[in-house]
Structure 1
């Protein structure tokens, strides 16, 4: 891959291109890719040449042609595929690679394969050739590059290019160097390059430096912002000029959206010049690269793939859509805009997608109960499709459907049970992909006394009859307390068909237990023919085994969800939603709906403490926005509209919890973190419930308020005692409170509540990316890794850790290499002080019991639930069993994914030309464990 010359180290011969060609390598068509040679020539990308180069490298170290053994051929074949994949996955639609990029990947491949002697010789040879080229370059004349812009070939304007990069680096400190970005850019440019390729190259060159310093994250975002402005406005506009340009552009944007049938005509009735003056252009600089790229790819409005929306116009469009029914629409739109654009609060993805649009489907989650009839089953599947079409996440309760072997009166035949219908549900989720913006997603729930439960928990297995598998659907088990008691005492468990025991579905707590025991007595008396008795621990083990092996079913607890539900006077919570944080009543007449948004909790840590005044203001505005969603929302199904307007539930959550701990200097695995989880959630809950009473005073109480727990003066924290009473104990949670809850109770007695439910902590997988904080209540996944989602791949570095390492003069290329080597974990890097290793321990370095303890403190205050992922390294049956029993004893309502440690996740790369990265050297074999679900799984973003 160099000009023909003898390698001074090994005597091998390398070339820029080879006449030899291995046709077996090129099984795919790579015609959309090109290679830029060092002389600027652009040639075809031929993967076979990579194979040839690697083979020659082995020959150089191991001997003559006889050294090309079957071992070498296998290594070269595998490594060639890996190199080609690493190159092409970053440019799935085609593009150019510089010859150096290819050689970097070859070098990395050699190291990963453990071929250190070959890699070392390869590195030393590249260094020698680089010195030779540098010496020649000093005596050569400068090459003038040309670009093609608007069909015209013109000299590349280096002054303008340099100024653009310098502007992107402004005010980001000495950590960023415009010259480094420019040098990397020029290496990838060639004579006659298209202007849009230059703009893309600037972004890619800055992006490659993010692992060196997180500050380049903002440089990359600003360069991307330049490109977005060029696409939207049709010309290059500097950041400094955008404040006035926003005011000029905004009104035409609204008119353009209305004309294109994208926006509601009512938006034109706002005082658009007034709103335009409120747009703050400098808030565009808050974005990190991942956040802005995500907005560009999936949120900004477009006409025939050309974006027409800029970031601040986007936030104002969302705000206007939420203020449509307000009396003073402009004032409220401005209030909503500032909350969103400052990143203090972010509405959920469906709201961001559709607010102000022609089909304003703003709600996040829909919960349904499937009736036990063929008409009802297919009506439920149709409802799934309609709700999914407009970006709703789905939770289906399938417990009423009779079990396999149950009699069908109409045909005198036997039922095939629940499973065959779930295959149809899974395929429907794939077919209806939420308007092309993200994949449809659904979770099926089944109570663990259902006779089909054993087959249900195996739905995600990769073996067995594929007609009875659902590879594209999530599953969860709805677990009553009686089952957990039987597990604890090693008792038996009886499975029934709901066609014989229909009232079990509608009961919980002591009532469920009494009825269940009565059915078991009827079995003993031979009054029920369709049943099965098994050891409770056998079913529990099977559930947990499948959870470990396939990531499903999730474990959710029926009785805490119902005993603690403010709405248990008008119905039963039969399931949760797609992400296990919503706990609302469902029946054959009502589809429960929840409307989500999340507070950026990190933005409310001021001067080392939680700013209650700011938090109260944020919560008040956010609750108003969420309440407005209910009335503005487009309902694809009448049952959803009826339920939402009757009960008016919302789900205000939080994100950035881990960032708060970093700002406060608190380790996640500590009692201090548990206390902060308690106090911060108490504050959010207090202000949210207070805000709902103020909305009730202004707008009236919700229709089914009378008789609710709110009406009876029972607040969420009070229901822990009710749960303990129903269980007969076995609820162990600290009940300390610090705020004036008696004053809130008095206010609720006076004015009531506007919303049946107010709080739910969603995963925030996508909106946390937009804001640039840690997702939801998640611990740090890795301190340095590559995140993949529908917008591509993004290097993520923990800015907090980098800052602390810089203060100790420990942030250097060796540290970067170490973090890559240990997959972003810090516990085994001896250079890092112990106090920092504790503070920046990653999800798999933390005892998961700490996650449960913090969640239990939050759950005390929450009237719905929380999406709680559990992380377990070195998983075993004993550990998983203890973890989920702890969750039950702590009174948690639901759990979400169980994530176990995969072999590797960080993308490893060469840190410096000529210096071998420590990635492969002395690498201990990774333990083979199952990873159930990718972090920020691009297929699972249905809530947020």
Structure 2
């Protein structure tokens, strides 16, 4: 039928609602922008009135007297209110058209198709009437803007032209729609700067329906940035000829403001400026450019002075300071960074080329068992955090609670009180105001304070013995895991009574540990505790589930496979669990990170996508040179860090965009094909990293402690897997690869290695946002969600999925609404083909064993470790036990966060039983290292 409902808006003449107004939430914090731009309070009962009138128009007056209809209207109203408040949980403004969209979708989803159709026809009719009236009124209202205190007419033609410029080469975007969305949020007397920002926000609201609007928003932001940085309204069309001049002005301003290293002014700025590629500004997504704007671009009293290509060149110049042909190398580095093929870690991007060039990502320390050593370590933490370093502290040497102190004849308070001080120091020293200070404390699980260590992150108990802002990790031996397997006992000691254990691993640790247990049994060690190994293991996993900590890391896998066994012992990992370097009282381990964008190295050949091995080799050669340069340029806050880094020269080359590659290749994460791709991609990355380090050794010399290393012995990381298997039995990891490793062994034997360690896969949380790819080796978190970070909230849409759904004519407003309703999951959306559901399964829909198996394939090739998050949708004690035992059995060195779904989340109405609930951790990113 063609009868249309009659309500003119959500504020019609009163009709008795089907549900009393007080039954709906009134504290949502929402306000409604009406079409006349008036802002009014959000009144949920108005929605019920509108829906009631819709039923009236189609089914007649008798319908609203039916209890079934009244209940249906109440349910529909509640679902609309829930959708709006879920989108804006903290309150805010919502346009009346958005509310009507939600009503329309709710009617369609509920099966009230006749009512929905009539409602749509009614909206279309009145939209046409409004459009006709707007045409009479010249379409755009006459508004004045405030331009630095001067009121003048809004130049709508100029803004429309800007919208058309930024949309010019993009598909499925509409410049007029962006301007129309902007108009709904303008008011008379609005500051001109706010109008420009409103353009960005308008494009931003359209991203969820069409991913290409993320580039529209980025380009509008870029236009604002150019005006802010240069004072000129520069367009993309004239940036090609203006960038060189902007670059020279930027260097001069940065040096004068004492932000930039004066040596940058000594470069051939004309040559470097001429190498800037203005078209690369168009690569950015909105999240990436906004992140750079908020936290990376240099500013003077809040005004940004740095444009994107100037930023990349500044970083490149800082890394080329010691090169013979500085300009040529700076251009080489710039081209790699600005292409998004590789990205340095956040500390390098923050500080390269500045007067405080702290470029390293990670610092690992060992705390000594005396008061001077403890507080010296805390001081060093503060100094290292000040310039954006992430920390991993080994606290195992510090004696346990109740241990005797010879100097005072008193008893120690143990590790826990000092960790509270470490926690508060991390809060106080927040990395120069750019991001939170971050530290992870490691403790071996034979330490007598270990049980209390497990409870540091609990929300109950004595607050003086809680560390809510600090991470913790357990450093676990093979012997303990074997005791768990055999259901044996485990003994906890104070390190002051068992001093050898800290520096032992493997068979030597097991022998010494058992000897100490025998002494305890004879009564020769008084301060100890015997506990069931399974009991302690269960408590570790329980605390991991309840608090997210401690992370589980395996010291024997780290040490038995370390190329630097001759030079010391690995006592911990770092803040993000990918770094495995030796530490001692005399050496603070340092690692410099950067990541290859794996997705940028895919190439199509005869319709088949594959990794471009030649391009990857070229990228890695330049990237390794950049990382090696960091070691010599870096500002070191402590002598121990400088000495260790110059002696061993470790770097950590990683990857990002792994999930994007799988999408492009048409591979599901939970598949054998994905395991093979994980294997091959890690082999390529590692092989070429080791090859590049050998090439640098030939040019620049070997690292200081090369003699005696496994490198020198001809044992490369895939060879060390056998050493681990000797102590564990078959690891279940296929051996062998596709590249010529024997040739590489011979090359290293001839020229040596420049770097003691080369490969570590970091989280890449922030730099993957900058580049616009999936983080690290992570599966897709959700296909549509709102990401929250220090730059705000951003809509993230899986563009690859959208392309596939568009090809099947499945991408529409209802699909968008369904994805939001089902938390980014396709599982419960019946019209999506099963193959697409499998390929785009979200992190919580993938059995976590697949993540472990893929990580095991990578681990055989890499000389350090990887930040491995594990996602478990429905955790149980048995499930976690099985998962973490598998991680140990497969020879993984470390694990990172355990991500679980909220225990109290409710199933979505009508959802499939497999649809995920809201995640208990809103954003899966750790930004500490990258």
Q: Give the structure-2-normalised TM-score.
A: 0.90
**Among candidates 305, 328, 331, match of residue 331 of structure 1:** 328
Deviation digits for residues 561-620 of structure 1 (CA, Å, limit 9, x no counterpart): 001111110110000000000000001111100000000011111111111111111011
| 1:765 correspondence with 2:765 | yes
| 1:294 correspondence with 2:291 | yes
Change (3 A) 1:35 1:481: same
Partner of 2:137: 141
The structural deviation recorded for 1:215 is 1.2
Partner of 1:941: 927
Partner of 1:449: 446
Partner of 1:922: 910
**Among candidates 504, 509, 513, match of residue 506 of structure 2:** 509
SS in 2 for 1:188: coil
State the alpha-carbon separation in 1 of the partners of residues 114 and 551 from structure 2. 48
| 1:530 correspondence with 2:527 | yes
Partner of 1:805: 805
State the alpha-carbon separation in 2 of the partners of residues 98 and 596 from structure 1. 42
**Among candidates 318, 323, 330, match of residue 321 of structure 1:** 318
| 1:157 correspondence with 2:145 | no
The structural deviation recorded for 1:5 is 6.8
State the alpha-carbon separation in 1 of the partners of residues 118 and 426 from structure 2. 53
8 Å Cα contact 1:116-1:921 kept in structure 2: no
Deviation digits for residues 204-243 of structure 1 (CA, Å, limit 9, x no counterpart): 1111111111111111111111111111111211111111
Structure 2's unaligned 5+ residue stretches are: 1-6, 56-62, 66-72
State the alpha-carbon separation in 2 of the partners of residues 25 and 4 from structure 1. 16
Deviation digits for residues 108-162 of structure 1 (CA, Å, limit 9, x no counterpart): 9x979x9989999999889968855753663553332222223332222222111
**Among candidates 90, 96, 103, match of residue 100 of structure 1:** 96
The structural deviation recorded for 1:717 is 0.8
| 1:394 correspondence with 2:388 | no
| 1:712 correspondence with 2:713 | yes
Change (3 A) 1:920 1:152: farther
Change (3 A) 1:624 1:58: same
Deviation digits for residues 482-514 of structure 1 (CA, Å, limit 9, x no counterpart): 000000011100110001001100000000000
State the alpha-carbon separation in 1 of the partners of residues 234 and 677 from structure 2. 44
Partner of 1:17: none
Partner of 1:277: 274
Partner of 1:176: 173
State the alpha-carbon separation in 2 of the partners of residues 133 and 604 from structure 1. 47
Higher relative contact order (CA 8 A, sep 6+): 1
The structural deviation recorded for 1:334 is 0.3
Partner of 1:68: none
Q: Give the structure-1-normalised TM-score.
A: 0.89
Change (3 A) 1:81 1:307: farther
The structural deviation recorded for 1:89 is 4.8
Change (3 A) 1:499 1:559: same
SS in 2 for 1:199: helix
Change (3 A) 1:743 1:408: same
State the alpha-carbon separation in 2 of the partners of residues 239 and 361 from structure 1. 33
Change (3 A) 1:305 1:565: same
State the alpha-carbon separation in 2 of the partners of residues 886 and 84 from structure 1. 41
Task: Trace 1:806-825 onto structure 2 (pairs within 5 A).
Answer: 806-825=806-825
State the alpha-carbon separation in 2 of the partners of residues 79 and 399 from structure 1. 54
Structure 1's unaligned 5+ residue stretches are: 15-19, 65-71, 92-96, 907-918
SS in 2 for 1:483: helix
| 1:217 correspondence with 2:203 | no
SS in 2 for 1:555: strand
State the alpha-carbon separation in 1 of the partners of residues 435 and 850 from structure 2. 33
Partner of 1:663: 664
Change (3 A) 1:905 1:164: farther
Change (3 A) 1:785 1:363: same
Task: Trace 1:396-415 onto structure 2 (pairs within 5 A).
Answer: 396-415=393-412
The structural deviation recorded for 1:834 is 1.8
State the alpha-carbon separation in 2 of the partners of residues 220 and 384 from structure 1. 39
**Among candidates 471, 485, 507, match of residue 474 of structure 1:** 471
8 Å Cα contact 2:80-2:106 kept in structure 1: no
State the alpha-carbon separation in 1 of the partners of residues 208 and 360 from structure 2. 37
8 Å Cα contact 1:900-1:930 kept in structure 2: no
| 1:354 correspondence with 2:355 | no
State the alpha-carbon separation in 2 of the partners of residues 872 and 374 from structure 1. 41
Partner of 2:651: 650
8 Å Cα contact 1:111-1:920 kept in structure 2: no
Partner of 2:703: 702
Matched pairs, number:
900
State the alpha-carbon separation in 1 of the partners of residues 263 and 325 from structure 2. 14
SS in 2 for 1:583: coil
| 1:199 correspondence with 2:193 | no
